[in-house]
C-alpha cells in the first residue's frame, strides 16, 4: 500500500484532493504494526503459553496501549483520505488504494477487538488455553 499511495500522490500531484502525506504515514503504520506483531509472537504469546499468570499483565498493558496508538493511526489515515472516500476524479489505482485501506482498517479493528475483549481478559483470569 505504501508504493500504491506514493504512486497516487505522485501521479495526481496537481490535484488538491490527493492524499498528501499518505505514503509517509503508511510507512510509519507498517513499521508500528510489524513491531507490534513481533512483540506478540516473540514475547506475549510465549508468556501466555507458559502460564506466566500475573507476569502477562505488563505485556498486555503494553499491547493495549499500542492498540490505542493503532486506532490513532487509523483516525489519521481517515483524515488524510477524507474518510476513505475517493474523489470523482480518482483513477482505478486511487480507488484500489482506498479499498485496501478499508480492509486494513477492518482487519486491524478485528485484531484489536479479539485481543482486548477476548484474549486479554481470559489471560488476566488465567483462562488462556494456547497450548
The larger pLDDT score, comparing residue 129 to residue 23, is at 23
What are the domain boundaries of the chain?
A: 2-124
The larger pLDDT score, comparing residue 124 to residue 36, is at 36
Backbone angles phi, psi at 101, to 5 degrees: -65, -40
Q: Are 7 and 18 in contact (CB under 8 A)?
A: no
The per-residue pLDDT for 129 is 54
Burial of 97 (0-12, 13-18, 19+ CB in 10 A): buried
C-alpha cell at 61: 498493558
pLDDT by residue (tens digit) across 72-94? 999 999 999 999 999 999 999 99
Lowest mean pLDDT among 4-13, 33-42, 105-114, 115-124: 115-124
pLDDT by residue (tens digit) across 113-123? 999 999 999 88
Backbone angles phi, psi at 80, to 5 degrees: -70, -25
Q: Are 26 and 2 in contact (CB under 8 A)?
A: yes
**pLDDT level of residue 107 (50, 70, 90 thresholds):** very high
The secondary element (H helix, E strand) that includes residue 29 is: helix 22-39
> What value does the mean pLDDT take over residues 26-53?
92
Amino acid at each position: 500500500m505504501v508504493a500504491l499511495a506514493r504512486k497516487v500522490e505522485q501521479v495526481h500531484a496537481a490535484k488538491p484532493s490527493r492524499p498528501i502525506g499518505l505514503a509517509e504515514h503508511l510507512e510509519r503504520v507498517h513499521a508500528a504494526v510489524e513491531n507490534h506483531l513481533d512483540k506478540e509472537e516473540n514475547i506475549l504469546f510465549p508468556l501466555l503459553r507458559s502460564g506466566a499468570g500475573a507476569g502477562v499483565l505488563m505485556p498486555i498493558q503494553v499491547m493495549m496501549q499500542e492498540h490505542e496508538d493503532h486506532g490513532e493511526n487509523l483516525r489519521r489515515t481517515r483524515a488524510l483520505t477524507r474518510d476513505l472516500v475517493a474523489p470523482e476524479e480518482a483513477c482505478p489505482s486511487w480507488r484500489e488504494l482506498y479499498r485496501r485501506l478499508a480492509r486494513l482498517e477492518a482487519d486491524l479493528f478485528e485484531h484489536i477487538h479479539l485481543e482486548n475483549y477476548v484474549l486479554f481478559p481470559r489471560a488476566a483470569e488465567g483462562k488462556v488455553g494456547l497450548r
